[in-house]
C-alpha cells in the first residue's frame, strides 16, 4: 500500500486560512473537504462518536454538514424525539454556515474555488441543499403537521438548487461532447434537459431566476455560469481522485485497490432496462475531472437528486395527494440510475450513503414486492456492492444487516438470524435497535414464538418508536403458544401463556398514541387499538375468556403485513396453514363474523400462492375476502375492512402469476390490471402504507408491460 503523505497523515488538523467567521479560500477548500470526508467515513463504520469528534475539529461547512449528518442518522434510525430535536438544531447550524459561505463566494468570487464545470459557490449550495433535504425528513418525523409542511417547502427549495447544479453539469458535458449513452436519453438526470427535468419533478425552476415569492436568502443564492476561463487551471490537489487514497483508520479499509471491479456482465443478472443499464453506461466522472471539489459536487448531487426521485416515486396514493400540493412527482428508474452512479464514489460519504440506500431499497422494499419485472432486482450487482461495502467498513453492523436481509430474501432465515445474533453489539444504539428488530421479524417468520416475544420486548429497551406494536406482537406470540398448549392438553403451559398474553395485551393501550407522524397516530397504533377493542367486545358478546375471544391468528396477520410469507421456506408456510386452521376447527366457526372469515381467506390464499398453488389461492379469494362487499363488512363490530382492497391486490398478484408474468398472456395481464385498479381506488384502510409500495410497484411494472392503468 502506498504511503499517505502531506496533511492527510498529520496527527492534528491542518490549520486553515479561514476561521469560523471567514470564508474558505480556494487553497483551503480541498483540504477542509478532505478532512471532513476522512472524518465522515467513520459514520459508515458505526463509529459515529469518533466521526463527530474529528468533525468538531473543523469549522467549515463541510465539517458542519458532517456533524449534522451524524445526528440525522441517529434521528432517522431511531425516531427518538430528543435526537430528532438535536438533529434539527445541528442541521440549522450547517444550513446557516453553507448559506453564508455561498453568499461570500458570490460576493468575492476571486478568492473562491473556481470550477470549470459548476457555478461559483456550487459546493456550498450543495451543502445547503443537503441540509435542507435532511431537515425536511426530520421535520416530517416531527409530530407537528406545521413542521412537516415547512419540511416539504424546504424539500422543494432543495430540489431547485440541485436542478440548477445538474444543469450546469449538463451544459459542460454537452459542450465537450461527453454526454453520451443512456444518460443523454434520460428524461431527468444530472444531465437532463431543462424542460424534461422540470416536467418529471413537477417543479418549475427557472435557470436564471428563482420563484418570485422566494425568501431574501434565496435571492442571494443565484448561480452564475462557470467561468470558461478556468478550464485548464490546475486544481489545488490534482492527485486527489474522489476517494481517500489507501486510508486505513481505526478499522476502515478505504483503498480503491481493494474494491475496484469490472461491472458484472449481462449474463450475471444485470438488468437491461434503464434503471440499471444506464447506470452501467453512465460516464465515469473521474475521467472528466480530478478536482476533489467537483467530484464532491457531482457525487453529492447524484445522491440527493437520486434519493429525491426515488422517495417521491414510492409514496402511497393517499400521501401523494399531499405532495401534489408542492408539485412533486418522482421517477424511480431515474432515481436508481443516479444512486447507482453515486455508488462509484463509495469511499466518500456521498457514495457510501448512496450504497446504503441502494441496498436497503432493493433488499428491504423491492425484494418483497410481488409484481416485478424480471430485471427489477440486479442481484449479482447488489451482492458485489454489498461485498465491497463490508470490506470498506468492516466494523459496521449496517452492512451485516443488509446481508441478513439478503439471506431472508433467499428464505435462509436461520442463517439470517445467526448473522444478526453474532458478534459485538453496534456502538450506535439506533443500529443495534435495527439489528434486534430484524432478528425479531425472522423469529416471527420461523414461528419461534418464545424467541420472537423476548426479542420484541428487547426492542423496547433499545428505542421508543412503537412500543405498542412491540407489546402487541409479543402478546400475539403467547396467543399461539396458548393455543398449541391447549390443543396438546397441557393445562399448566396453557395457563402460563394465557396469563403472559393477557398481561402484555393490557400494557399496550398505555403506549398507543405516544408517537405521532405528521400529527397523526401511527398506522400500527391505530390498527392495534381497534384490534384490542374488538377482542374486548367479542369476549363480552360470546361470554368467553379474553384469549378465546381472539379471532384469526393476530400473529399471522402481522406476518402478512411485514411480507413474511415471501421470506418463508415451504416448511414454514405449511406451519402457517396449520395455525390458520385453528380458527376453522372451532365449533363456532360457522357463526363467525364476516370480517374474520375474510381475514382467514386472504391469509390462506396468500400462503397458497407462495406454495405455488395459485388456482387454490384464486378460488379462496373469490369465496372469501372478495365475496363480501365493503358495506357488509362495515356492519361487523370494530370491523376489519382492509381485506377488500388488499384482497384485490392479492387477486392481481395471482392473475399476474397465472398469466405467466411480464411476457405472459395479455388477457390475463389486463385482468391483473383491473383488480389492481380496484385496490388503487379504495378509500384509506388499515395499514394501507404497508401495501402501498407494492401497489405502486405493480402498476409501474404493468405499464412497462404495456398494460394501461
Q: What φ, ψ does residue 440 adopt, rounded to 5°? A: -60, -45
Q: Which of 323-327, 558-562, 638-642 has the lowest mean pLDDT?
A: 323-327
All domains of the chain, ordered by start, with CATH?
42-254+268-335 (no CATH), 562-709 (1.25.40)
- Indicate whether 567 pLDDT > 70: yes
61 touches 98 (CB < 8 A): yes
- Indicate whether 387 pLDDT > 80: yes
Q: What is the CA radius of gyration of the chain?
A: 27
Indicate the average pLDDT of the chain. 82
Query: For 357, what's the count of Cα atoms within 13 Å in the CB-facing half-sphere?
Result: 28
% helix, strand, coil for the chain, step of 5: 65, 0, 35
Neighbouring CB atoms inside 10 A of 379's CB total 18
Give the pLDDT score at 272: 36
446 touches 414 (CB < 8 A): yes
Which of 285, 289, 334 is closest to 313 using CA atoms? 334
Residue 95 cell numbers, joined: 444550513
Measured between alpha carbons, how far is 359 from 354 in angstroms, rounded to an integer? 9
196 touches 187 (CB < 8 A): yes
Give the pLDDT score at 475: 99
Give the pLDDT score at 81: 78
Measured between alpha carbons, how far is 632 from 438 in angstroms, rounded to an integer? 37
Q: What φ, ψ does residue 247 adopt, rounded to 5°? A: -80, 125
Measured between alpha carbons, how far is 201 from 198 in angstroms, rounded to an integer? 5
Q: Stretch 518-525: mean pLDDT, rounded? A: 75
Measured in whole angstroms, the distance separating CA 293 from the mean position of its chain's CA atoms is 28
338 touches 190 (CB < 8 A): yes
**E runs forming strands in 577-661:** none
pLDDT band at 443 (very low <50, low <70, confident <90, very high): very high
Largest pairwise CA distance in the chain: 87
Per the DSSP assignment, residues forming a β-bridge with 247 are 254
Residue with the bigger pLDDT between 132 and 272: it is 132
pLDDT band at 124 (very low <50, low <70, confident <90, very high): very high
Measured between alpha carbons, how far is 412 from 418 in angstroms, rounded to an integer? 10
* Phi-psi region at 423: left, alpha or beta (left = phi > 0; alpha = psi -120 to 50): left
The answer to whether the predicted template modeling score (pTM) of the entire model surpasses 0.75 is yes
Give the pLDDT score at 247: 37
Measured between alpha carbons, how far is 182 from 203 in angstroms, rounded to an integer? 23
Measured between alpha carbons, how far is 418 from 600 in angstroms, rounded to an integer? 32
pLDDT band at 468 (very low <50, low <70, confident <90, very high): very high
Per the DSSP assignment, residues forming a β-bridge with 521 are 516
Buried b (16+ CB within 10 A) or exposed e, 604-631: bbbbbbbbeebebbbebbeebbbebeee
- Indicate whether 111 pLDDT > 90: no
pLDDT band at 18 (very low <50, low <70, confident <90, very high): very low
Please give the helix or strand (H or E) that residue 199 lies within, else none: helix 194-201
Q: What φ, ψ does residue 80 adopt, rounded to 5°? A: -90, 135
Amino acid at each position: 500500500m502506498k504511503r499517505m503523505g502531506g496533511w492527510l497523515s498529520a496527527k492534528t488538523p491542518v490549520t486553515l486560512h479561514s476561521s469560523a467567521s471567514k470564508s474558505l479560500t480556494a487553497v483551503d477548500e480541498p483540504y477542509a473537504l478532505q478532512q471532513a470526508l476522512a472524518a465522515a467515513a467513520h459514520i459508515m463504520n458505526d463509529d459515529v462518536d469518533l466521526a463527530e469528534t474529528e468533525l468538531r475539529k473543523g469549522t467549515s461547512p463541510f465539517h458542519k454538514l458532517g456533524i449534522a449528518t451524524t445526528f440525522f442518522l441517529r434521528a432517522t434510525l431511531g425516531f427518538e424525539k430528543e435526537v430528532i430535536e438535536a438533529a434539527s438544531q445541528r442541521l440549522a447550524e450547517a444550513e446557516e454556515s453553507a448559506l453564508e459561505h455561498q453568499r461570500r463566494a458570490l460576493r468575492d468570487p476571486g478568492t473562491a474555488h473556481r470550477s470549470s464545470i459548476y457555478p461559483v459557490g456550487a459546493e456550498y449550495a450543495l451543502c445547503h441543499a443537503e441540509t435542507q433535504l435532511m431537515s425536511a425528513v426530520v421535520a416530517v418525523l416531527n409530530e407537528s403537521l406545521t413542521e412537516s409542511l415547512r419540511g416539504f417547502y424546504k424539500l422543494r427549495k432543495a430540489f431547485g438548487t440541485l436542478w440548477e447544479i445538474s444543469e450546469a453539469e449538463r451544459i459542460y458535458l454537452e459542450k465537450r461532447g461527453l454526454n453520451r449513452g443512456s444518460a443523454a436519453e434520460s428524461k431527468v438526470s444530472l444531465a437532463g434537459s431543462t424542460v424534461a427535468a422540470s416536467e418529471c419533478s413537477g417543479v418549475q425552476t427557472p435557470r436564471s431566476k428563482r420563484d418570485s415569492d422566494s425568501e431574501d436568502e434565496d435571492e442571494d443564492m443565484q448561480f452564475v455560469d462557470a467561468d470558461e476561463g478556468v478550464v485548464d487551471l490546475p486544481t489545488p490537489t490534482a492527485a486527489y481522485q474522489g476517494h481517500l487514497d489507501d486510508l486505513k483508520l481505526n478499522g476502515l479499509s478505504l483503498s480503491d485497490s481493494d474494491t475496484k471491479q469490472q461491472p458484472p456482465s449481462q449474463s450475471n443478472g444485470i438488468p437491461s432496462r434503464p434503471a440499471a443499464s444506464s447506470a452501467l453506461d453512465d460516464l465515469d466522472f473521474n475521467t472528466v475531472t480530478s478536482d476533489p471539489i467537483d467530484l464532491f459536487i457531482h457525487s453529492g448531487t447524484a445522491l440527493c437528486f437520486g434519493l429525491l426521485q426515488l422517495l417521491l416515486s414510492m409514496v402511497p396514493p393517499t400521501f401523494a395527494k399531499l405532495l401534489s400540493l408542492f408539485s412533486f412527482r418522482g421517477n424511480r428508474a431515474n432515481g436508481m440510475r443516479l444512486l447507482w452512479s453515486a455508488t462509484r464514489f463509495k469511499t466518500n460519504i456521498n457514495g457510501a450513503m448512496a450504497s446504503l440506500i441502494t441496498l436497503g431499497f432493493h433488499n428491504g422494499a423491492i425484494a418483497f414486492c410481488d409484481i416485478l419485472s424480471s430485471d427489477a432486482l440486479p442481484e449479482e450487482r447488489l451482492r458485489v456492492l454489498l461485498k465491497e461495502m463490508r470490506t470498506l467498513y468492516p466494523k459496521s453492523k449496517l452492512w451485516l444487516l443488509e446481508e441478513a436481509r439478503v439471506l431472508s430474501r433467499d428464505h435462509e432465515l436461520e442463517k439470517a438470524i445467526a448473522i444478526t445474533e453474532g458478534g459485538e453489539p453496534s456502538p450506535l444504539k439506533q443500529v443495534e435497535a435495527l439489528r434486534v428488530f430484524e432478528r425479531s421479524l425472522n423469529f416471527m417468520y420461523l414461528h419461534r414464538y418464545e424467541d420472537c416475544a423476548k426479542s420484541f420486548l428487547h426492542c423496547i429497551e433499545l428505542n421508543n418508536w412503537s412500543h405498542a406494536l412491540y407489546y402487541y406482537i409479543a402478546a400475539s406470540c403467547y396467543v399461539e403458544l396458548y393455543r398449541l398448549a391447549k390443543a396438546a392438553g397441557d393445562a399448566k403451559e396453557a395457563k402460563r401463556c394465557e396469563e403472559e398474553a393477557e398481561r402484555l395485551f393490557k400494557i399496550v393501550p398505555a403506549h398507543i398514541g405516544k408517537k405521532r407522524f405528521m400529527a397523526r397516530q401511527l398506522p400500527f397504533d391505530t390498527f392495534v387499538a381497534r384490534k384490542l377493542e374488538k377482542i374486548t367486545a367479542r369476549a363480552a358478546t360470546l361470554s368467553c375468556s379474553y384469549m378465546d375471544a381472539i379471532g384469526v391468528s393476530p400473529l399471522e396477520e402481522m406476518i402478512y403485513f411485514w411480507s413474511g410469507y415471501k421470506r418463508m421456506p415451504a416448511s414454514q408456510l405449511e406451519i402457517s396453514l396449520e395455525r390458520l386452521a385453528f380458527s376453522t376447527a372451532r365449533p363456532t366457526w360457522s357463526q363467525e363474523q364476516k370480517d374474520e372469515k375474510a381475514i382467514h381467506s386472504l391469509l390462506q390464499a396468500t400462503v397458497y400462492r407462495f406454495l405455488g398453488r395459485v388456482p387454490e389461492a384464486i378460488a379462496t379469494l373469490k369465496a372469501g375476502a372478495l365475496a363480501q362487499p365493503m358495506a357488509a363488512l362495515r356492519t361487523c363490530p370494530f370491523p376489519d375492512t382492509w381485506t377488500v382492497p388488499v384482497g384485490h391486490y392479492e387477486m392481481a398478484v395471482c392473475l399476474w402469476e397465472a398469466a405467466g408474468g411480464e411476457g405472459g398472456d395479455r388477457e390475463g395481464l389486463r385482468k391483473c390490471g383491473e383488480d389492481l385498479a380496484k385496490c388503487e381506488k379504495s378509500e384509506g384502510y388499515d395499514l394501507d402504507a404497508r401495501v402501498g409500495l407494492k401497489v405502486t410497484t405493480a402498476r409501474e411494472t404493468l405499464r412497462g408491460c404495456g398494460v394501461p392503468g
